[in-house]
Chain A
Amino acid sequence: MTSPDDERSRHQHILEEARRFAHEEVRPRARDFDERGELARDLIAKMATQGFLLARLPQQYGGLGLDPVTYGLVTEEIGKACCSSRALMTVECSLVGETLLAWGTEDQKRRWLQAIAKEGKLGAFALTEPEIGSDARGVKTTFEARGDDYILNGRKKWTSFGAIADFFLVVAMKDSSATVFLVERDQPGVRVTPMKGLLAGRAAHLAEIELENVCVPKDRMVGKPGSAFPYVVGTALDHGRYSVAWGGVAIAQASLEAMVTYARTRTQFGQKIAEFQLVQGMIGEAVAKIHAARALCLRAGELRQRRDPDAIMETTIAKHFSAQIAMEVATDAVQVHGGNGCSSSYPVERLFREAKVLNIIEGTAQIQQQMIAKYGLRKYYHRPSPE
């Protein structure tokens, strides 16, 4: 039995190791990953060995057992160095790992979480389809019972790490009721097509997945029949939003550091551009926005640690805000860099592209606004007093 002090010390050590790992092993290769359109397998293997792929999950399943706040801070460190490496953590730990932890049977947890942690396997979360994005409850992929098995048919799209994943959590529909199934990549009827020509996430191995009469044994159902909405998918997206919220802080922080460094070294009109007040305006705004976004993420993390019912909305707010400010700060970082900011020789060009995606994944900004508005409309309503 470890003491709370020992546990805090362990978490701090992991965070410091993540910082070192990001700086030495990830950041120097981020541009190369983006240009080649893939994360290197050796890096993925190292992240698994370090425990980062399932950092938040209990140690008994191969995770690091991090509390939500430390997990968020680790996510920020990796995300500052490389957005696609952060995306790998989001998919493996938050979308796949947390979902199996919450809804999987004990056998499923032991088999598939261990596979990620120890066997070099990857999972992916297959919800979105060619015609279905925000309207997730309208998925067209179907399942039907056949004896003790289920037969799946349909197409998934935008599946992060789908191109290299060994198994997928697939959301499928029957009679307007959705269920989640674990489908292995090498099952007959599964076809995976990597997606190219992307604005961002170029190294996140996005793929289309076609399922044609794929036969899934009944023990591969995740959760109860019909439990995909609101429970299983809701859990996945909630954890995904928490991870992406920190990903937004990461992009904004990396953009700020690049902007500050450039402003203090670039000379125009005989002085460093950091001395120009209009440049300082952008830096000042960036600092304030990032501090606010990080505070929201920390608050969400603390509520998640306490399993507070408000955690889900505070996470949504943190994700929405950090995604917004990531785009704003990355835009200003490009502006401070001028023409150089439009070149892949400088990381802000990549950060600018990656920031845009955060406003779309795990709930578009507009869907988030609606959720937050409904929360506000009920939380801050005071019935008018009679005259």
Chain B
Amino acid sequence: MHDIADTIRQFVHSHLVAFDADTKLADDDNFFELGLVDSPFAIQLVAFLEERFQIRVGDQELDVANFNSINRITSYVQSKRTQ
């Protein structure tokens, strides 16, 4: 659980587009709504999750709501890995 969350957190934080180096992002924060990621990020994130966790994100699962915070992504990955 922590490994998954840490890996996702690191990826998300490394892709934040924020000029203020002290910008904070909590695990529950919706980074899309906060404008902290750019437009390619959504697809980059899916590619990352599939490659890193060896899962296949189904086209019917691709709802921004599943992937808009670190906690939601972590939950999604966990559920995929227990299927």
Contact of A230 among B15, B21, B42, B48 (CB under 8 A): B42
Identity of the chain B residue whose Cβ is nearest the Cβ of A102 in the assembled complex: B59
Number of interface residues of B (CB under 8 A): 26
Q: How far apart sit A9 and B45, CA to CA, in the bound complex (Å)?
A: 34
- Name B's A-contacting residues (CB within 8 A): 11, 14-19, 21, 38-48, 50-51, 59-60, 62-64
Q: How far apart sit A103 and B39, CA to CA, in the bound complex (Å)?
A: 18
Identity of the chain A residue whose Cβ is nearest the Cβ of B21 in the assembled complex: A383
Min C-beta distance of B37 to chain A, whole Å: 9
Q: A224-B60, A227-B63 are in contact. Are A378 and B40 (CB under 8 A)?
A: no
Contacts of A226 in B (CB 8 A): 63-64
Contacts of B11 in A (CB 8 A): 309
Q: Chain A, 365-384, contact with B by CB distance < 8 Å: what is the 0/1 string?
A: 00000010011011001010
Q: How far apart sit A102 and B63, CA to CA, in the bound complex (Å)?
A: 14
Considering the complex of A and B, which 4 residue pairs feature the smallest CB-CB distances, nearest first? A230-B42, A309-B48, A309-B44, A309-B47
User: Most chain-B CB neighbours within 10 Å: which of A230, A231, A383?
Assistant: A230
Min C-beta distance of A171 to chain B, whole Å: 15
A235 touches B43 (CB 8 A): yes
Contacts of A312 in B (CB 8 A): 40, 43-44, 47
Q: How far apart sit A307 and B56, CA to CA, in the bound complex (Å)?
A: 12
Identity of the chain B residue whose Cβ is nearest the Cβ of A384 in the assembled complex: B21
Q: How far apart sit A311 and B50, CA to CA, in the bound complex (Å)?
A: 14
Contact of A374 among B17, B21, B45, B60 (CB under 8 A): B17
User: What would be 11 A-B contacts, judged by CB atoms less than 8 Å apart?
Assistant: A230-B40, A231-B42, A231-B62, A235-B43, A306-B51, A307-B47, A309-B44, A313-B40, A375-B38, A378-B17, A378-B18
